[in-house]
Amino acid sequence: MNILVTTGTGAEYQFERLLNIIDELCEEKVINSQQLVVQSTDRYKAKNYEIKDMMPQNEFDEIMKKADLIITHAGTGTVTKALKYSKKVIMFPRRAMYNEHMDDHQLDLCELFCNLNYAILATDKNELTEAIKTIDNFVPERFVSQNIKINQIVKDFIEK
């Protein structure tokens, strides 16, 4: 299974918790590091995989299209793009209590997307491990961007 992990671009806040868990899951053979791409601007030094810094958008998009699973910090842009590509998504939000962000808006976003069955929420190693092991059984709802709906409403109005 090809996996893309992305932690976002927030250089002010590090997300070593997720990167460390990914390291442990590679070591435990839950994740095959040979089928893993991790994009992060964090200072974390991985033991079991290579971290790619920010890459050109077209390269990132190609990797995302080839991935079977996206594990992401809950950034809106990454999540909606993954869903538009019909990818299975595990959302692992940055948390204020770990000083990974200024507030818990990412958790709020996760709850919204997960309650609509677009993605799976994981907040710790056990939940992430279980989500990865059972991802084949997860059938997400088909995502339709609100932008597309708005564009269609405008188009329909103009054509009247």
User: No. of H helices and E strands in the chain?
Assistant: 6, 6
Average pLDDT over residues 101-130: 90
Higher-pLDDT residue of 40 and 69 is 69
For the entire predicted model, the pTM comes to 0.87
DSSP state of 1: -
d(CA 107, CA 33): 27
Q: Which residue has the higher pLDDT, 143 or 26?
A: 26
Give the torsion through C-alpha atoms of 140, 146, 149, 153, to 10 deg: 160
Query: In angstroms, how far apart are the furthest CA atoms of the chain?
Result: 60
Provide, rounded to the nearest whole percent, the portion of the chain with pLDDT above 70. Answer: 89
The string of pLDDT tens digits covering residues 51-101 is 998 889 999 999 999 999 999 998 888 999 999 999 999 999 988 777 778
Domains of the chain: 3-159 (3.40.50.2000)
Give pLDDT, residue 150: 45
Q: How many residues does the chain have?
A: 160
Quick one: average pLDDT of 23-35?
97
